[in-house]
Amino acid sequence: MPVEIKGLSFGYYPEKTVLNGIDVTCRDHRITGIIGPNGCGKTTLLKVMAGYLHPGAGTVLYDGNDIGGIRPADLARLRAVVEQGIECPFAFPVYDYVMLGRIAYRKSFRPTTEEDHRIVLDALRDTNALRFQDRKVTELSGGELQRVMIAKALAQKPKYLLLDEPTSHLDIRHQLDLMELLSRLSKEITVICILHEMNLAATWCDDIVLTQGGRIVSSGDADRVLSAHAIEEVFDVLAIRQKLPEAGRYQFSFSLPAADRDRKRCRVHVISGEGRGRIVFSTLASAGYEVSAGVLNNGDQDYDTAALMEIDLVSAPPFSAIGPDETTELYRLCDEADVIVLVAVNVGKGNYPNIEAAASFLGTKPVIFFNPDKNLKKLDHTDGRATALYDKIVGQAPEVSDIDGLFGELERVCRPGG
């Protein structure tokens, strides 16, 4: 059964509420990542879920049972907790330290059983920590100690594993190793963890609980919750979301909002294709410009990038010519834009309406021609019509050959009075 949190509120003092009205369900056999800005109550939420803190209102349910009514020994068998920054003051051998996880199953002064030893060895093996079972815990690296702490938690044979920032202070390889371990464990137990590394959460978590100011902003399937817009709103950053084909999951790149973000929220419509607009989309969005795109054929590299970045987009079916409906949408987006950026691409009958639309706005709206190639004739597959139109655009619009030049022109035309 899932872990259910209903109407949960908590405060360390009557006048200081840390959690307010929390309602969330952590589903079985999945990794649920809890993310949010520093100080938003993530660790407090995990401690209430663990039973370390008692809520002022609401309930935490394990297997349908209120945590407040579960005996401590039974709770220790039901859920295990790996806290952040745990330091062991004694030089326990790793094996003995992991054996501490069996305390919940042993009566006072009873010796360890054969089953205890089997479970400890299984936990060490599952966490790839068996090779240093005889070493002292005080001699372990951060990544090794994290694995041993998880092994100790697994020795409790829990149904639910709670972790507070398990990847903190680990290098990239150890972070990936740890998340791969949690992914394997989630096939048999439910994993709930606090994460700060957004791309680890996007890659490895099945579900996300997005928090802010002691409240739940959104929860559920990771791909749905972790939208660029949601991340921007919660963390006050500019976020670009793209899908990695080899991973099949989303990844983010981030930048700080421009100091003059109000001026930079200039809307730019990009007309491109053949993958030549990808760098324009990503750099403009990173700089804080609102970007729209099209017309792009579904399946074009530019289409894939624009769709993954959640850019306002007008598209046409694969390998088809731009039709009347797409042309109408194209003109609407161009009309709504403050600036039109035309990227030099191969032009045939099918996409000729794209550059025709850009040319139609000459003199009425800023148009910038982004042309890294310079050789326009080789791009013409319309018996000279495209070359003539390109020449007209070059004669009336600024032409730039790189991103720096593009930014320079955008700064000029987007500046008040520019």
* Local confidence pLDDT in tens for the 418 residues of the chain: 789 999 999 998 877 889 999 999 999 999 999 999 998 999 999 999 999 999 989 999 998 999 999 999 899 999 999 988 666 667 889 999 999 999 888 776 678 889 999 999 999 998 989 998 999 988 888 888 888 999 999 999 999 999 999 988 788 888 898 899 999 999 999 999 999 999 999 999 999 999 999 999 999 999 899 988 889 889 988 787 777 666 567 788 787 776 555 545 688 999 999 888 888 988 888 777 889 998 999 988 888 888 877 788 999 999 889 999 999 999 999 999 999 999 989 889 899 999 999 999 998 999 999 988 776 767 878 888 888 888 899 889 999 988 888 988 888 888 644 4
Contact 130, 161 (CB under 8 A): no
Domain with CATH 3.40.50.2300 in the chain: 257-414
What whole-number distance in Å separates Cα of residue 61 and Cα of residue 68? 9
What tokens does 30 get? Answer: 């999945």
Just give the CATH number of 257-414: 3.40.50.2300
Q: Write the class of the CATH domain 3-252.
A: alpha beta
Place of tokens 């161009």: 334
Give the global pTM: 0.73
Comma-separated ranges of CATH 3.40.50.300 domains in the chain = 3-252
CB 198 within 8 A of CB 231: yes
Distance in angstroms (rounded) separating the CA atoms of residues 197 and 105? 35
* Residue 384 to residue 343: CA distance in whole angstroms: 18
d(CA 385, CA 294): 21
290 backbone dihedrals φ, ψ, rounded to 5°: -80, 125
- Two structure tokens written together for 209: 């609980």
Query: Rounded to the nearest 5 degrees, what angle is found at the Cα of 142, between the Cα atoms of 94 and 208?
Result: 110
DSSP 309: T
Helix (H, G, I), strand (E, B) or coil at 415: coil
> How many angstroms separate the CA atoms of 351 and 361, rounded?
17
Q: Give the pLDDT of residue 417.
A: 43
